Amino acid sequence: MAEIAVPTPDEALDKRACPECGGDLQWNAAKKALVCPYCGTVAPWAPGDATPVAIAELDLAQALAKEDESGRGYGTERREVQCRSCKAISAFEPDRVAARCAFCGSPALVPYEALKEAITPQSLLPFCVPDTQVRESIRRWYGTRWFAPNRLKKAALTDTLRGLYLPYWTFDAQVHATWTAEAGHYYTTSESYIQNGQTRTRQVRHVRWEPASGELQHFFDDDLVPGSEGAHAGLLEKIEPFPTTTDLKPYAPEFVRGWTVERYQVDLRLAAEHNMTQMQRAVHDLCAQQVPGDTHRNLQVQSTYRGRTFKHVLMPVWLVSYTYGRRSFQLLANGYTGTIAGERPYSAFKIALAVIAALILAGGYFWLDGQR
């Protein structure tokens, strides 16, 4: 990973006051800089003489073996609320009031008191795509949903757009795997058969099976596991990837000041289990690619994982949530790349019209064909 200048704790908390009015600077996606929300002063952070160091990778085994109370919190005071409907937990500044859940739109929000503070994020991707660009992309996305109800554009207004930092875990690991399988090689033979009293010949494919074995060395770098319960998992997959191996920034409270942060509910232990499942599946696929021949069967893989490390990171996501009928829908946009994925209702009336039109066209085609 690239070397990045990391500010000291004093720099992160004490030296981000506006040079003009003294207000707390906040990250601005449009200007890609720290901006004072009171007087508009732009004050990009300059690392100065800070020593470049790599963003820390934390040892997974050590973290799971002990309950360490250090390295927790967001570096600034935050108030947490939980939605009674979708159970998402959001953290924001104490002076901000959330009227509705950012993820499902429910007004049923209650204070959330955790047994301990969340693990402090090691790094994040700051918002780079401004809300104006996302709103325009969303309008175009709505415009291409041909089978959506006509009222969708009014029911899913872009003024419900919210910027959120979602929790993710990243995992690194070195794996050594050995595998055995039966490799299948295709070959064909000629075969004679009788059809309508005549002898014909056809080519028949067979498989020759041979034992095969091999080994694999692979490094997993920043394998992602979302810790979000509020954003729909299928949509998150569609707006990935997030460039965590190249563009992460060291965490500082200024990046999240003024933004809502979702508290992870997939904790480190559960995320590590998800990560192991992902890696095992990936290793099996990589070994399958090494099997010679045209096909294979009875693939057996033995894997050893070493040097597992992790980070807690925050990913920028723009979210629109709306209710149509009795169902809730979400539309997500990657706050760093601008990639969009969304859910929408379907109009039974429009689908029925399309089916009728297709049947009329098909009937007309066959009628004309019969007249020739």
Neighbours of 312 (CB within 10 A): 22
Output the pLDDT for position 88: 85
220: region left, alpha or beta (phi > 0 left; psi from -120 to 50 alpha): beta
Give the 3-state secondary structure of residue 343.
coil
Cα dihedral 53/249/6/89 (nearest 10): -120
Residue 61 sits at φ, ψ, to 5 deg, of: -60, -40
**Which pTM was predicted?**
0.77
Query: 120: which 2 tokens?
Result: 């402090």
Q: For tokens 């660009």, name the residue.
A: 133
Output the pLDDT for position 353: 65
Output the pLDDT for position 215: 97
Q: Domain coordinates of the chain in residue numbers?
A: 1-54, 55-182+211-355
pLDDT by residue for the chain (372 residues), tens only, comes to: 433 333 333 333 334 677 777 777 788 877 778 888 778 888 765 543 344 445 788 999 998 887 555 567 766 677 788 888 888 888 877 766 666 787 877 877 887 776 577 888 889 999 999 999 998 888 888 777 666 666 666 655 666 788 999 999 999 999 999 999 999 999 999 999 888 888 899 999 999 999 999 999 999 999 999 999 889 999 999 999 999 988 898 888 888 888 889 999 899 999 999 999 999 999 999 999 999 999 999 999 999 999 999 999 999 999 988 877 777 888 999 999 999 998 876 556 566 766 776 777 776 666 676 666
Output the pLDDT for position 203: 93
Cβ–Cβ under 8 Å, residues 251 and 327: no
Residue 62 sits at φ, ψ, to 5 deg, of: -65, -40
